[in-house]
């Protein structure tokens, strides 16, 4: 409940109580009670001394941590996170973690900003998770503990073998653009954009494999349209999908400094030009339901969708529901998105990371021990079994046998898509940049302007926002 809602409800309660008191007074005035007989005054007793409020007793041998996280503790991910925290505490009995759920990542971010604004009086967590753009805010405020100290520690850190088990791009997510580049965060939930493919439908159109290049993708869409007269791709105006297409063509959202737009160069223009061509040819159209691309795909109405590797459970449930209603089953899986150069593949990597708030050394150390434990092979495999995130370690596949048997597409997600994801720019203005880009994409898909003009205008706005002073031509 918001603060405003709380006080409004409280005021309502006071008003109701006041009305009841007035009604009671009126009843008394209209129906006077008989006089009460006098009685002897009781012997006065000394006022009772209020008992002191109980105080929490903490074991000095235990390090207590507070962990802000975005999941409701009665929902699947929150329940699993709670189980894993208890498992950690059983292995590390001198560490106690209090899970404090917030209302999603947005609620957690605003809670952090509120406490930062409170200055020394603010109460920050020991450990939390957030998107890299949010973490950039906290790093700029100087409240984060750099993790390199722990990562490189001979006893606390990760061995060379452990590091080799983690894809480098996952660690890159924890660093901010520019120099120097300390490690501020560590993977918690990470995903990349891949291409869901209806292989049965594609085979009917004469294709024995998914399209590997953008030219092939466009040709496959024409072949599918010739087969059944239906669009191949129910598109959603997604900045994340645009960034995946951009990366696949060798482009990038911002330059290496993170302070100047680069999305209006050839790779970005070609990406939106392709989408516009598909729309004009009737090969791509928005899904009937808002964000319903997965429903169209699961019902066999489209051969392709671009979506997160964390959407597997969503797609599986929608597919099973469609089959249950009588749809003929088909073969489907997720593969790497088409590329300008398949020899140098790229997509976008995004997600949320752990971070540690600077504080007492023992608390920082304990928080790092939890992060290290949570991202070890067996734990990251358990966390990834929900299909809402990919595992941090490549070796997790060795113990994800049940998951792979039920959802064989997970192997390709981990081995063929995840290693080639490029992290989104971790800048404080990340969400403002996304808003500007979303408007540019809409102006193209709705036919208001051409891709170059739309992206040039957006680049000018982003450069002004980031203070680069460089206007697009």
75-119 residue pLDDT tens: 999 999 999 999 999 999 999 999 999 999 999 999 999 999 999
**Structural fold of domain 63-190+350-423:** D-Maltodextrin-Binding Protein; domain 2 (3.40.190)
- How sure is the predictor about 16, in pLDDT bands with cuts at 50, 70 and 90? very low
Encoded tokens for 194: 């891949």
Instruction: Report d(CA 60, CA 417) in Å as an integer.
Output: 47
Q: What local confidence, expressed as pLDDT, does residue 41 receive?
A: 40
On the question of a cis peptide bond just before residue 175, with omega within 30 degrees of 0, the verdict is no
Q: How far apart are the first and last CA of the chain?
A: 47
Instruction: Report d(CA 293, CA 311) in Å as an integer.
Output: 11
Question: What average pLDDT does the structure give for the chain?
Answer: 89
**Structural fold of domain 192-348+428-466:** D-Maltodextrin-Binding Protein; domain 2 (3.40.190)
Domain boundaries, the chain: 63-190+350-423, 192-348+428-466
Interval 48-75 mean pLDDT = 82
Q: What local confidence, expressed as pLDDT, does residue 169 receive?
A: 97
Please say if the pLDDT value at position 278 is more than 90: yes
Encoded tokens for 201: 């439908």
> Do residues 145 and 83 make contact, with C-beta atoms less than 8 angstroms apart?
no
- How sure is the predictor about 469, in pLDDT bands with cuts at 50, 70 and 90? low
Q: What are phi and psi of 198, to 5 degrees?
A: -90, 95
Q: What local confidence, expressed as pLDDT, does residue 23 receive?
A: 31
Q: Spell out the SS3 assignment of 265-288.
A: CHHHHHHHHHHHHHHHCCCEECCC
Please say if the pLDDT value at position 26 is more than 50: no
- DSSP states along 328-361: PP--EEEEPPPBSSTTS--EEEEEEEEEEBS--H
- How sure is the predictor about 351, in pLDDT bands with cuts at 50, 70 and 90? very high
- How sure is the predictor about 187, in pLDDT bands with cuts at 50, 70 and 90? very high
Q: What local confidence, expressed as pLDDT, does residue 19 receive?
A: 32
pLDDT, greater one: 452 or 40:
452
Please say if the pLDDT value at position 17 is more than 80: no
Closest Cα partner for 187 from 151, 153, 138, 221?
A: 151
Instruction: Report d(CA 417, CA 193) in Å as an integer.
Output: 8
> Do residues 198 and 302 make contact, with C-beta atoms less than 8 angstroms apart?
yes
> Do residues 384 and 191 make contact, with C-beta atoms less than 8 angstroms apart?
no
Q: What local confidence, expressed as pLDDT, does residue 55 receive?
A: 57
Which DSSP helix (H) or strand (E) runs through 96? strand 95-101
Least trusted range by pLDDT, from 24-28, 264-268, 422-426, 431-435? 24-28
CB crowding 119-148: b at 16 or more within 10 Å, else e: eeeeebbbbbbbbbbbbbbbbeeebbbbbe
Encoded tokens for 462: 């982003």
Beta strands in 347-395 (DSSP E): 347-356
Encoded tokens for 320: 């099973």
Encoded tokens for 267: 């790779």
Asked if 63-190+350-423 and 192-348+428-466 have one fold, the answer is yes
Interval 179-195 mean pLDDT = 95
């Amino acid at each position: 409940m918001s603060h405003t809602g709380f006080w409004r409800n409280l005021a309502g309660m006071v008003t109701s109580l006041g009305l009841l008191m007035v009604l009671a007074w009126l009843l008394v005035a209209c129906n006077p009670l008989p006089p009460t007989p006098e009685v002897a005054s009781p012997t006065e007793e000394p006022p009772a001394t209020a008992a002191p409020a109980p105080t929490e007793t903490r074991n000095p041998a235990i390090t207590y941590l507070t962990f802000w996280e975005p999941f409701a503790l009665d929902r699947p991910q929150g329940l699993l996170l709670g189980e894993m925290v208890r498992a950690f505490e059983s292995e590390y009995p001198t560490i106690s973690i209090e899970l404090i759920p917030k209302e999603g990542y947005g609620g957690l971010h605003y809670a952090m900003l509120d406490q930062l604004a409170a200055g020394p009086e603010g109460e920050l967590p020991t450990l939390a998770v957030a998107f890299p753009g949010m973490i950039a805010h906290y790093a700029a405020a100087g409240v984060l503990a750099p993790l390199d100290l722990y990562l490189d520690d001979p006893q606390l850190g990760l061995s060379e073998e452990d590091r080799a088990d983690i894809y480098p791009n996952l660690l890159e997510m924890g660093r901010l653009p520019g120099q120097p580049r300390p490690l501020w965060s560590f993977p918690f939930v990470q995903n990349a954009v891949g291409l869901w493919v209806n292989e049965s439908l594609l085979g009917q159109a004469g294709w024995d494999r998914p399209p590997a290049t953008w030219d092939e993708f466009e040709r496959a869409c024409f072949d599918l349209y010739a087969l059944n007269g239906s669009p191949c791709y129910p598109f959603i105006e997604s900045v994340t999908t645009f960034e995946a297409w951009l990366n696949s063509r060798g482009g990038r959202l911002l330059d290496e400094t993170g302070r100047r737009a680069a999305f209006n160069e050839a790779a970005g223009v070609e990406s939106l030009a392709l989408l516009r061509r598909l729309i004009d040819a009737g090969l791509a159209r928005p899904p009937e339901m808002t964000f319903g691309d997965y429903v169209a795909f699961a019902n066999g109405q489209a051969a392709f969708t671009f979506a997160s590797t964390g959407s597997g459970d969503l797609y599986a449930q929608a597919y099973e529901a469609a089959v249950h209603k009588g749809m003929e089953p088909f073969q489907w899986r997720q593969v790497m998105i088409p590329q300008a150069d398949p020899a140098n593949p790229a997509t976008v990597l995004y997600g949320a990371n752990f971070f540690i708030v600077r504080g007492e050394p023992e608390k920082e150390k304990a928080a790092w021990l939890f992060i290290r434990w949570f991202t070890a092979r067996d734990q990251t495999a358990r966390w990834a079994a929900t299909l809402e995130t990919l595992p941090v370690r490549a070796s997790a596949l060795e113990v994800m046998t049940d998951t792979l048997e039920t959802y064989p597409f997970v192997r390709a997600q981990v081995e063929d898509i995840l290693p080639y994801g490029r992290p989104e720019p971790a800048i404080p203005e990340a969400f403002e940049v996304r808003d500007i880009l979303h408007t540019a994409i809409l102006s193209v898909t709705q036919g208001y302007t051409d891709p170059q003009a739309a992206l040039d205008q957006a680049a000018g706005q982003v450069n002004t926002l980031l203070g680069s002073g460089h206007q697009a031509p």
